[in-house]
């Protein structure tokens, strides 16, 4: 007995009835004989099975299924938005509601999508109530969707109403209360200020400078403010935060001046004789947390809201001014009025440049990096009363030169009284 092998000269593309099947068939025909995909299709029982295999390999059902799921996801959003509009003028109490719907549709296909027939039905149950100036809603439901192509392939059922409905309700509810975007952004900035100035609630005997508050210990309030802002950024998606990578070609043309400014500051610090001390880990954590949190709050959340509520220049000046005024809040925690004023003026000027960089780059990342470098230079390398090298004494002022060590020109010095002799005592005796 001898075995004889013969190859079928019928191509897979010739069995196709649609464009996607034909393209997939030509791709399989180009594969070497004995390849796993070629063997799987060649061993199918009949022509209809081959066509179904070509449909699965072409992936055209994937694009149609994505469109179907996206279309079905709009029903929980519409139900939630309609409920909020109806509840605006009614009793501001809690309410329980229900909503159902059913739909049928025929979706035409194309060269990259399959034609689908769908039948769906849904039942949504919701409970909403007031929470301050907000209104919180919870909804859950059951959804059934039958979609098919040619009455044979692609049938399936998706029960996803509970998870999808709850997610959409939480997103819309976080933006659809009695406050608009500008008010929400101002509330986020105010909450961040409350967290960062919480140290002011602690009693102290003497004012604490900004340098001491940042460089002595790890400021947990800065980490708490950063965590709060990250949560706010997660909830306020779509407000235009600019959390994307910038265009590096544009960034190179814009960064030369800020980097030159930082280099000039470093040179001035070195010329002033304030040596660089090894910066502790907690100092680095503090200044980096402050830089990232301030950029997220002011050039992220706060800039995205007023830009939509007012013209460009009023919004630009308002954000820069609020950034400077917010730095005066450090006076409540440190008691250093002079340092707070200097810091506020510097914040307005530097914040204007960082906001311009954020607008030109359409990204918040470069402003974050420059802000962190600025904080490290100012607080770590001697700016605004920064560190001194170990063992170096406090530099004496011009009015204190020539005075004994430890004596201040503002301290009262003992006055030496010289006794005067009568004039007749100086006359020579005759």
What local confidence, expressed as pLDDT, does residue 175 receive? 37
Residue 181 has pLDDT above 60, yes or no: yes
Please state, in angstroms and as integers, the Cα–Cα distance from residue 81 to each residue in 210, 260, 355, following that order.
47, 51, 34
Mean pLDDT of 152-164: 36
Mind listing the pLDDT tens digit for each residue in 75-86? 777 777 777 666
Residue 355 has pLDDT above 80, yes or no: yes
DSSP β-bridge partners for residue 232: none
What local confidence, expressed as pLDDT, does residue 201 receive? 42
Residue 12 has pLDDT above 50, yes or no: yes
Residue 16 has pLDDT above 70, yes or no: yes
Give the pair of three-digit tokens for residue 117.
């027939």
pLDDT interval class at 36 (50, 70, 90): confident
What local confidence, expressed as pLDDT, does residue 244 receive? 75
- pLDDT above 90 coverage of the chain, percent: 0
Residue 414 has pLDDT above 60, yes or no: no
What local confidence, expressed as pLDDT, does residue 56 receive? 72
Residue 240 has pLDDT above 50, yes or no: yes
Mind listing the pLDDT tens digit for each residue in 271-317? 555 444 445 666 777 778 888 888 888 888 888 777 777 778 888 88
> Whole-prediction pTM value?
0.43
CA distance 60 to 108: 12
End-to-end CA distance of the chain: 167
DSSP β-bridge partners for residue 129: 136
Q: Choose between 156 and 316: higher pLDDT.
A: 316
Which residues make Cβ contacts (< 8 Å) with residue 264, sequence separation at least 6? none
Please give the torsion angle defined by the CA atoms of residues 201, 204, 209 and 214, in that order, rounded to the nearest 10 degrees: -60
Does an H or E element contain 137, and which? strand 134-148
Q: Rounded to 5 degrees, what are φ and ψ at 157?
A: -135, 130
Which of 388, 114, 366 has its CA nearest to residue 246? 366
Mind listing the pLDDT tens digit for each residue in 45-58? 787 888 777 777 77
- Helix, strand, coil % over all residues of the chain, rounded to 5: 55, 10, 35
pLDDT interval class at 250 (50, 70, 90): low
CA angle in degrees (0–180, nearest 5) for 291-295-296: 115
Residue 239 has pLDDT above 50, yes or no: yes
CB 135, CB 177: distance < 8 Å:
yes
Q: Choose between 292 and 207: higher pLDDT.
A: 292
CA distance 402 to 166: 75
H helices present in 98-236, as ranges: 161-173, 181-196, 210-215, 220-235
Mind listing the pLDDT tens digit for each residue in 165-175? 333 333 333 33
CB 254, CB 361: distance < 8 Å:
yes
Give the pair of three-digit tokens for residue 77.
């959003």
Which of 130, 27, 35, 29 has its CA nearest to residue 88? 130
Q: Choose between 124 and 131: higher pLDDT.
A: 124
What local confidence, expressed as pLDDT, does residue 350 receive? 84
Other C-beta atoms lying within 10 Å of the C-beta of residue 61: 21
- As to burial, measured by CB atoms within 10 angstroms (0-12 exposed, 13-18 middle, 19+ buried), residue 356 is middle
């Amino acid at each position: 007995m001898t075995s004889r092998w013969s190859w079928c000269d019928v191509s897979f593309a010739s069995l196709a009835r649609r464009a996607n099947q034909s393209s997939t068939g030509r791709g399989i025909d180009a594969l070497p004989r004995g390849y796993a995909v070629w063997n799987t299709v060649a061993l199918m029982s009949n022509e209809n099975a081959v066509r179904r295999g070509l449909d699965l390999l072409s992936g055209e059902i994937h694009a149609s299924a994505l469109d179907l799921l996206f279309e079905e996801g709009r029903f929980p959003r519409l139900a939630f938005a309609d409920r909020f509009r109806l509840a605006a003028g009614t009793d501001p109490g809690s309410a329980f509601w229900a909503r159902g719907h059913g739909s049928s549709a025929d979706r035409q296909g194309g060269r990259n999508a399959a034609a689908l027939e769908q039948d769906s039905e849904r039942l949504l149950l919701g409970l909403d109530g007031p929470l301050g100036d907000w209104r919180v809603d919870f909804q859950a439901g059951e959804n059934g969707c039958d979609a098919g192509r040619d009455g044979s392939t692609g049938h399936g059922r998706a029960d996803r109403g509970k998870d999808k409905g709850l997610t959409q309700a939480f997103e819309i509810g976080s933006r659809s209360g009695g406050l608009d975007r500008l008010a929400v952004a101002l509330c986020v900035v105010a909450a961040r200020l409350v967290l960062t100035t919480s140290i002011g609630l602690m009693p102290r005997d003497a004012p604490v400078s900004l340098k001491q508050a940042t460089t002595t210990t790890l400021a947990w309030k800065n980490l708490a403010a950063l965590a709060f802002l990250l949560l706010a950024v997660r909830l306020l998606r779509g407000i235009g935060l600019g959390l994307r990578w910038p265009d590096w070609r544009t960034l190179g043309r814009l960064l030369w001046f800020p980097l030159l400014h930082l280099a000039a500051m470093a040179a001035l610090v070195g010329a002033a004789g304030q040596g660089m001390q090894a910066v502790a880990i907690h100092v680095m954590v503090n200044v980096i947390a402050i830089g990232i949190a301030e950029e997220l709050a002011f050039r992220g959340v706060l800039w995205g809201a007023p830009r939509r509520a007012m013209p460009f220049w009023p919004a630009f000046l308002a954000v820069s001014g609020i950034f400077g005024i917010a730095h005066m809040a450090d006076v409540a925690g440190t008691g250093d009025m002079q340092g707070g004023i200097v810091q506020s003026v510097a914040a307005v000027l530097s914040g204007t440049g960082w906001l311009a960089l954020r607008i030109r780059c359409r990204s918040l990342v470069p402003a974050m990096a420059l802000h962190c470098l600025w904080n490290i230079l100012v607080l770590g390398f001697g700016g605004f009363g920064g560190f001194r090298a170990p063992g170096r004494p406090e530099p004496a002022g011009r009015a204190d030169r020539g005075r004994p060590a430890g004596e201040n020109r503002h301290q009262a010095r003992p006055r030496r009284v010289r006794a005067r002799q009568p004039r007749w005592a100086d006359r020579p005796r005759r």
